[in-house]
Amino acid sequence: MEEARAEAEAVMFGALDSLFEKTGVKPDDIGILIVNCSLFNPSPSLSAMIVSHYKLRTDIMSYNLGGMGCSAGLISIDLAKNLLQANPNMYAVVVSTENITLNWYFGNDRSMLLCNCIFRMGGATVLLSNKSRDKVRSKYELVHLVRTHKGADDKHYNCVYQREDENGTVGVSLARELMVVAGEALKTNITTLGPLVLPLTEQFKFLVTLVPKKILKAKVKPYIPDFKLAFEHFCVHAGGRAVLDEIQKKLKLTDWHMEPSRMTLHRFGNTSSSSLWYELAYTEAKGRVSGGDRVWQIAFGSGFKCNSAVWKALRSTPMNETGGNPWKGEIDKYPVKVPVA
């Protein structure tokens, strides 16, 4: 437990120190704190650890989300958005992390050993503001956030499941149906997201194939909208190579669009809910983000959940703006050729 706490402190405090230094915001300025970590939930909570370390104010709205999987980062963003809408002139900080120390699997169940291979320590912090004066220096504006929860279906609910193996050793089991489940969750999610972001031409093409299928029960291959017309950048949760391959195939994305996700998986592994921010940091470090660009973050998590966040870049991010960027000093080495099994 002591080592797990030390890991959590190193990740969270390191990310927060960088955030405060980069933005000039002081800990006393924070009115909302949201921490999400799926598998490590001590008492006092991780959010309480932050309050204690930075001596945050006594009226802070503090939340700690646990057990919500790799998609919890966007759930935290959604919670922060709702709280900021109800509380004017305030800063909110979201801390997304995962803890490895207490969650290593020491058994022999293959479905549970996979987590040892892909999950790694990581964390990220995000500062959100509803203060009008911050618009001139903010990087992004949150445009849409769409959440999908397929937990009513047993196949989806049991797909990623923490349990004991036959010897009583605790671990997280990943079902063989994971790719199918992720695909179905994504399909449901983009059905809601599509009308919000796609141009009318793409919506019309989708409708033309949907009507015969739903009303006439005809066997018509569904039209997959071209989301490249709606977004310049894609940050797909780096859950594993198979997940990225499936999403690239489903959405017909290019290798360039998938590069941030694949390089994040290669360099940092699956850092759970924080992986989306490593991917966005990669895009920024490459100098690819220009003012007006649209970014689509896609997160998958146990439950089973698929969440989407759409951000609009309010300004360009130059390559030399690397304060707090995990790719600083090594971005020129990427992309690299990733071995294929």
Residue numbers annotated as active site: 70, 149, 233, 237, 266, 270
> Which amino acid, one-letter code, is at 73?
G
The first and second tokens of residue 208, run together, are 């033309």
The first and second tokens of residue 316, run together, are 């360009």
Contact 244, 261 (CB under 8 A): yes
The number of angstroms, rounded, from the C-alpha of 47 to the middle of its chain's C-alpha atoms is 19
Helix (H, G, I), strand (E, B) or coil at 51: helix
| CB atoms closer than 10 angstroms to residue 312 | 14
Longest distance between any two alpha carbons in the chain, whole Å: 63
| CB atoms closer than 10 angstroms to residue 281 | 22
Q: Which residue has the tokens 């964390």?
A: 123
Classify each residue of 139-176 as buried b or exposed e, where b means 16 or more C-beta atoms within 10 Å of its C-beta.
bbeeeebbbbbbeeeeebbbbbeeeebeeeeebbbbbe
Q: Which residue has the tokens 């009583």?
A: 168
Which ranges constitute the DSSP H helices of the chain?
2-23, 46-54, 72-86, 110-118, 154-157, 178-197, 200-214, 241-251, 255-268, 275-285
Can you say whether the dihedral through the CA atoms of 329, 34, 265, 309 is positive or negative?
A: negative
Alpha-carbon distance values, 293 to 23, 143, 153 (Å): 22, 12, 36
